[in-house]
Amino acid sequence: MKSIKDQTYYEILEISPTASDKEIQRAYEHAKETFHADSLAVYSLFSEEEVKEIQSAIEEAYRVLMDGVLRKSYDQSHFQSVGGALPEKPLEVQGDIREKRPSLSFTGISFQPDEELYRGKTLKQIRERMGVELPLISKETKISLKVLEWIEEEALEKLPALVYLKGFLKGYAQSLGLNPQKVVEGYLRLIEESKRK
C-alpha cells in the first residue's frame, strides 16, 4: 500500500518489472481509460486533483518504460540499490484471493551497468526521446549551447578542459534526470579511448 508518489513506474501501470513493451502499451491504454477525467470508475472516488496527479504519473511512467535506455537507467537506480534485489514486494498483477504473491527476484537478471551507454550520441538520443530541446537545457544549466552541442557530437577537440567538462556533464545529466556520476564516467572513458587511437 503506497501512495502514487511512492509507487514505482511498474506499480503505477500495474505491471511486473519484466513486462514487455506490448504489455506496457496495453497497461498504459488501460490506465488512460481508467483515469480519464470522466471515467465511470474514478469520478466518485478521487478528487479532480488526485486524478490529474495520477494521469501525469501514468504519462511519466509510460514515457520512461517505453524507452529502452531510460527504462534501463530507471531500473538501475530503482532495483539495484540493495545487492540487486527488488526493494519492495513486486506488484501482484493477476489478483487472486488465495494466491501467494509471486516472489519475483531479480537475482537472475543483471542490469550490466554499461559505461559505453553515455557517449555523446546516446545522450543525444535520450534527450530527443524525452522531447527536450537543447536550448532549454542550456537555459536551465547555464551551459553554453555550443558546448552542449559539442558534447553530443563528441567533438572532443573543441571541448573545454576536463575540470570544466566534468561540471558540464554533471549539469547536463542532472537536467535529464540521469545519474551524473555514470554520465561523467562514461564520457571520460570515451575520451580515453579516442586518445589511445
Partner 1 sequence: MGWTQSNNRKMIWTIGGGKGGSGKSFITANLGICLSRLGIRVILIDADLGGANLHTFLGISPPAITLADFIKRRVSHLHEVLIPTTVPNLQLLTGAQDLLNAMDAKSVQKRKLVRSIQHLESDMILVDLGAGNSVSVLDFFLMSDGGILIVTPEPTSVENTYRFLKSAFYRRLRQMVSSPSVKAVIEGAMDRKNEMGIQNPYDLIKAVRRIDQTEADRIIEEAEAFRPNLILNQVRSKKDIEIGFSIRSACLKYFGIHLHYLGYVVYDQDVSNSIRRRRPLVLENARSRAAQCIMEITSKLANRP
Q: How many residues bind partner 1 (CB under 8 A)?
A: 26
Distance in Å, CB of 39 to partner 1, minimum: 6
Phi, psi of 83 (to 5 degrees): 50, 35
103: contact with partner 1 by CB under 8 A: no
Residue given cell 501512495 in the structure block: 3
| DSSP run (H or E) holding 147 | helix 145-153
Distance in Å, CB of 66 to partner 1, minimum: 19
Phi-psi region of 177 (alpha: psi -120 to 50; beta: other; left: phi over 0): left
Distance in Å, CB of 45 to partner 1, minimum: 5
Cell numbers found for residue 151? 558534447
Kindly tell me which residue out of 22, 48, 96, 163 binds partner 1, with binding defined by CB under 8 A.
96
Kindly tell me which residue out of 21, 88, 92, 133 binds partner 1, with binding defined by CB under 8 A.
92
Phi, psi of 61 (to 5 degrees): -60, -45
3-state secondary structure of 85: strand
In the bound state with partner 1, the residue whose beta carbon lies nearer, of 34 and 77, is 34
**CB–CB of 111/79 below 8 Å?**
yes
Segment near partner 1 (CB under 8 A), from 61-69, 89-97, 118-126, 175-183? 89-97
Residues in 22-61 at the binding interface with partner 1, rule: CB under 8 A = 30-31, 33-35, 39-47, 50, 54
In the bound state with partner 1, the residue whose beta carbon lies nearer, of 54 and 143, is 54
3-state secondary structure of 82: strand
Cell numbers found for residue 53? 496527479
In the bound state with partner 1, the residue whose beta carbon lies nearer, of 46 and 111, is 46
Beta bridge partners of 85: 82
Closest listed residue to residue 178, CA positions, set 117, 135, 136: 117
Distance in Å, CB of 74 to partner 1, minimum: 20
Residues in 137-176 at the binding interface with partner 1, rule: CB under 8 A = none
Question: Using CB under 8 A as the criterion, which residues of the chain lie in contact with partner 1 when the complex forms?
Answer: 1-4, 14, 30-31, 33-35, 39-47, 50, 54, 92, 95-98
